Structure 1
Amino acid sequence: MNDIEVLTLGEAMRLLLAEPGVALRRAHTFQASVAGAEANVSVGLARLGHRVRWLSRVGDDSSGAAVLSALRAEGVDVSDVEVDPAGFTGLLLRDDNPGRGIDVQYHRAGSAACSLSADYVRAAGLGGARLVLVSGITAMLSLSARDAVLALFELARAEGATIAFDPNVRLKLASPAHWRETVGPLLHQADLVFAGEDELELLDASAAELIGKGVGTVVVKQRDKVARAVTAEYEWSQETLVTHVVDPVGAGDALTSGYLSSWLRGGSPAEALLAGAVSAALVVGTRTDLEGLPDRAELARTSAALGGGEEVHR
């Protein structure tokens, strides 16, 4: 496990995506896939050539088997994922019409991932990873899952790994006050934060405040679709590269995976923002959270095309 670059911790669910353009309550056919912030970033980074290990718990059910099979097929190390014989794997149902509000329904309360614990994380260890990534969703699953996140942060600090954190606020999980109480303090423990402008406001935080308290870089996804990378010394910005939207869900995780891939290879914040913007543009042009995540060749080809290079590679 010493060759692992990135370790992620979080829940993955079986995704059932309604037929294109049809409201969830009227849909008769569904496309099955996998969804979950950390799982999405894990797949994104694996496709871009990084060695990624995902920690989680799934139920001993068909959905859990499907999740493990999907991530394993992408080259993500799932060898330390716990399979709970008495638990179940979370389920997410949604539609994908970008012209109206998207209907998302979670069936995850009490899932196997809700029993993530600090003991599990400590037993699994970092395996030499130089970067760990987790989202606020994981911390909000349960008290023991929040302890698991804190244990991951402790291990990362002890071993000198960089901590990347995305609050990923989902108000169907809990009230704004609960998010502020549980996830707000975690922002200050990260080295690299990815957050929407609205999420920072809800959590009573700002890029300047986080930088002032020791966060190295804050990547802000603004309402106007501009992404900013803010450090104590400088600020970079990247306009959206989206030209066509099929399914807007998954753009944030794609931006994170593209950014982190460039960061892992020593890219500048400007280069990392561009890689993130290209990844996000590719994802929203397809269905599901995973379908459009690029590999390195696709990322380079699309970056060249968007920069005015040849669009057809013969």
Structure 2
Amino acid sequence: MDVVTLGETMVLFTPESEGYMRYSANFSAKVAGAESNVAIGLARLGHNSGWISRLGDDEFGKKVHTFIRGEGVDVSTVRFKESASTGLYFKEMVTDDEVRVHYYRKESAASLMTPQDLNEDYIASAKYLHITGITPALSESCRKTVMKAVEFAKKHEVTVVFDPNLRRKLWSEEQARKALLEIAFKADIVLPGLDEGVFLFGQNNPEMMAKQLYAHGVSQIVIKLGAQGAYYYSKDGKGTIPGFPVKRVIDPVGAGDGFAVGLLSGLLDKLSLKKAVERAAAVGAMATKVSGDVEGLPERERLESFINGTTQGDVNR
């Protein structure tokens, strides 16, 4: 297995019209979750990925399971729970540049995950364990599950990749900062956004953020700067990779997951960190050009065309 990831995936409902959701009569139903987005994106680029989670034993859970399996992701460790429901969320497209997300995930099946849901051998089989800060925010048992997964990965020398993915509504600032830093300092690669770096360290200088993480044993740090690109830092070098301009952003939600896809794919392909960050920026940009969390994640040929500036309608670099 190339990458194993762990977290909640929900059914996403999006109104078919813009404006306040109260006026919407029709919705599309899709599947989305930060960790499964990454697993799907990696599968599209030809890598082997697996996803660990719980789903409700309901029609929405079956929809999620069927969709992710159909995208080529291994779901053999996913468990269904009869007494809990699959989480839902709604993406309210108020205007082209104003998107609101509403979650209905309290007491969902995934929020009830425990360390007993983990298979140590399954995690040990991977080259990378990808985790986000969303899962530990769902419940105390989910936090313990993430920490146990990290423990298994470190035991078996599996590289831990952590995207803080801060969700302020899920927990208090004190809880979030303490838990996210605890996980970050155990990770090998950390991928904060600039705002997350400010939240964790109280200042907005990417290099200083990276140095603090590096001083705590993180070997590679990549700080996402949005449309401006990303700053990377490791013992082999540091620098800023510019973003890929996009003429029209259709849906910004999922861009960070696309970034993680590109970075992990580049590292799996043995690219330098600099080149892997460039691929990450490209996938993140492509994800914003299509509505939906995974619909814009590219296959390899299209990604290479985009990076080389040969895709119809895209910019040259």
* Runs of 4+ with deviation above 6 angstroms: none
* Equivalent-residue separation in structure 2 for 1:183 and 1:70 (angstroms): 30
For residues 266-292 of structure 1, the C-alpha deviation after alignment (integer angstroms, 9 at most, x for no partner) is 011221112111111211010000110
Residue 112 of structure 1 is matched in structure 2 by: 109
Residue 16 of structure 2 is matched in structure 1 by: 19
Residue 262 of structure 2 is matched in structure 1 by: 258
Residue 145 of structure 2 is matched in structure 1 by: 148
Residue 57 of structure 1 is matched in structure 2 by: 54
Q: Which runs of 5+ in 2 are unaligned?
A: 203-208
- TM-score, normalised relative to structure 1: 0.93
Please say if residues 20 and 95 of structure 1, whose CA atoms lie closer than 8 Å, have aligned partners that are also in contact. Answer: no
Q: Which secondary structure state, in structure 1, belongs to the residue aligned with residue 135 of structure 2?
A: helix
Deviation at 1:124, TM superposition (A): 6.3
Tell me whether 1:81 sits opposite 2:85 in the alignment: no
Deviation at 1:310, TM superposition (A): 6.8
1:127/1:187 CA distance change after superposition, 3 Å: closer
Q: In structure 2, what residue type is equivalent to 1:250?
A: G
Residue 238 of structure 1 is matched in structure 2 by: 241
Q: In structure 1, what residue type is equivalent to 2:295?
A: E
Please say if residues 251 and 280 of structure 1, whose CA atoms lie closer than 8 Å, have aligned partners that are also in contact. Answer: yes
Tell me whether 1:272 sits opposite 2:269 in the alignment: no
Residue 130 of structure 1 is matched in structure 2 by: 127
* Equivalent-residue separation in structure 2 for 1:242 and 1:65 (angstroms): 37
1:296/1:224 CA distance change after superposition, 3 Å: closer
Deviation at 1:79, TM superposition (A): 1.2
Deviation at 1:225, TM superposition (A): 2.9
Deviation at 1:97, TM superposition (A): 4.8
Q: 1:166 aligns with which of 157, 163, 166?
A: 163
Identity of aligned residues (%): 35
1:122/1:78 CA distance change after superposition, 3 Å: closer
Please say if residues 17 and 24 of structure 2, whose CA atoms lie closer than 8 Å, have aligned partners that are also in contact. Answer: no
- TM-score, normalised relative to structure 2: 0.92
Please say if residues 220 and 227 of structure 1, whose CA atoms lie closer than 8 Å, have aligned partners that are also in contact. Answer: yes
* Equivalent-residue separation in structure 2 for 1:12 and 1:81 (angstroms): 11
Q: Which runs of 5+ in 1 are unaligned?
A: none
Deviation at 1:26, TM superposition (A): 2.2
Q: In structure 1, what residue type is equivalent to 2:191?
A: F
Residue 294 of structure 2 is matched in structure 1 by: 290
* Equivalent-residue separation in structure 2 for 1:227 and 1:53 (angstroms): 27
Residue 211 of structure 1 is matched in structure 2 by: 214
Please say if residues 98 and 245 of structure 1, whose CA atoms lie closer than 8 Å, have aligned partners that are also in contact. Answer: no
* Equivalent-residue separation in structure 2 for 1:238 and 1:96 (angstroms): 30
For residues 136-176 of structure 1, the C-alpha deviation after alignment (integer angstroms, 9 at most, x for no partner) is 11111111111111111111111111000011001121222
* Equivalent-residue separation in structure 2 for 1:21 and 1:14 (angstroms): 20
Computed over aligned residues only, the root mean square deviation of the Cα atoms, in angstroms, reads 1.7
Q: Which secondary structure state, in structure 1, belongs to the residue aligned with residue 106 of structure 2?
A: coil
* Equivalent-residue separation in structure 2 for 1:98 and 1:240 (angstroms): 24
